[in-house]
Amino acid sequence: MKLKIKTRLYVCLYCFTLTLFSSCYDDKGGLVDIKNDNLTNNKKIIIGERSGNINLFLEESNEDNFLVLEGDMLIPKSSVNVLKVYNVNEFKFEGIDDDIAYFKKQYSAKTTKFRSAINSNILSGAELWEGRWVYFAFNNKNNFDKEQYATIFKAICHWANKTNMRFKIVPANSHLKKITIFKKSKGCSCSVGSGNGNMNLSLTCDFQSIVHEIGHAVGFGHEHQRPKRDHYLTNFHTDKDYQFIKEGMDRLGENGKAIVAILKANLSKENVYDDSLPFDYNSVMLYGSWPRNHLVLRDFLKRNNLPVYTRLNGELIERPVYGLTSIDISKTYAAYQ
């Protein structure tokens, strides 16, 4: 117990010192950055099987070791059974539902249990950190200025203060399983659960974003992807809406087909080990009703009153900006007993 307290005090005292250089941003948002200049012919949409679940993944490039799930979760390619591949600019959106239904008939969800993950809504297929220790390393901490560096530590300190998780920064060449933090030009993303993964952070990643990405590192998926979401969220886009969005984006000089394909991939459901825990509208793991980074798409959807989803009563969902909620904390304790 004394070791746990000393560890948290160390992280938080260090964090407090760094916070002198930091500030928090009130950034409301939603989906992954899918700007048109980011959609190259190298990107691919993949239907893949992982832990018995059929999902849509985005492949950024052939050189990467990870596929992107739900916009900002990095999944090792080695853990995904690739079933079908589409070039993002040749993607036939109208046929994706039939393809997914075909593959779902051939697979049933596996329930591989990693320790106490069965008591929480940890993402299916994610493994817990041994002893509740999460290890981070910086690929090159000099790539981050003082304010960014302080914000990262502030987010880690927030998790250490609010939950039973323990965190340690280790050298990049450490033999321990760890999440390596990289500075990127755009977007925020992180590997899910224990293992040698990456956290990619850019200038758009504020305190709330980093707390969110640490949630992925701990093992959580998105609140809006939980199987029970239809009891709490509604007004998801229909095929007619997607066709309207595609045509609108094309008229505005954007890659409508690719934007729609990635939008749909970002809103797919994902299995969790236990979905009985309360749904949380204020969870740090929930997106807002409007896209965050693609301003052209966000403005188009707002003009046409087409949020990506709403509460059951039709109210819009704003992205929370105050970190972990009591339910987020309870879910963490349930997973890491």
Task: Write down all domains in the chain, each with its CATH number in brackets.
Answer: 1-337 (3.40.390.10)
Q: How many other C-beta atoms are found inside a 10 Å radius of the C-beta of residue 93?
A: 19
Confidence of residue 317 (pLDDT cuts 50, 70, 90): very high
**Could you tell me what percent of the chain has a pLDDT over 90?**
43
Beta bridge partners of 57: 46, 69
**Whole-number pLDDT of residue 9:** 44
Average pLDDT over residues 215-222: 93
Q: Reply yes or no on whether 130 is catalytic.
A: no
Query: Could you give phi then psi for residue 38, rounded to 5 degrees?
Result: -95, -10
Mean pLDDT across the stretch 116-130?
A: 73
Q: What is the pLDDT of residues 159-200, one digit of tens each?
A: 999 999 999 999 999 999 999 999 998 788 899 999 889 999
- Model pLDDT, residue 63: 62
Which CB contacts under 8 angstroms, 24+ apart, belong to 301-309?
Answer: 301/245, 304/244, 304/248, 306/237, 306/241, 306/244, 306/245, 307/235, 308/30, 308/31, 308/236, 308/237, 308/263, 308/267, 309/224, 309/233, 309/234, 309/235, 309/236, 309/267
**pLDDT given at position 90:** 63
Name the active-site residue from 213, 223, 254, 270: 213
Judge whether 300 and 250 are in contact, CB under 8 Å: no
* Single pTM value for the model: 0.76
Task: Give the span between the Cα atoms of 297 and 299, in whole angstroms.
Answer: 6
Q: Where are the alpha helices (DSSP H) in the chain?
A: 2-19, 96-104, 146-162, 207-218, 239-251, 256-266, 295-303, 326-335
Which pLDDT value is given to residue 46? 84
> 28 pLDDT band (50/70/90 cuts)?
very low
Rounded to whole angstroms, the Cα distance separating 276 from 272 reads 10
Share of the chain above pLDDT 70, in %: 78
State residue 91's pLDDT score: 60
For the segment 290-314, the average pLDDT, to the nearest whole number, is: 91
Given a cut of 60, whether residue 2 has pLDDT beyond it is: no
Lowest mean pLDDT among 18-32, 109-123, 303-317: 18-32
What confidence tier does 107 reach under pLDDT thresholds 50, 70, 90?
low
Mean pLDDT of 24-51: 51
Gyration radius from the chain CA atoms: 19
Q: Is residue 83 scored above 90 in pLDDT?
A: no
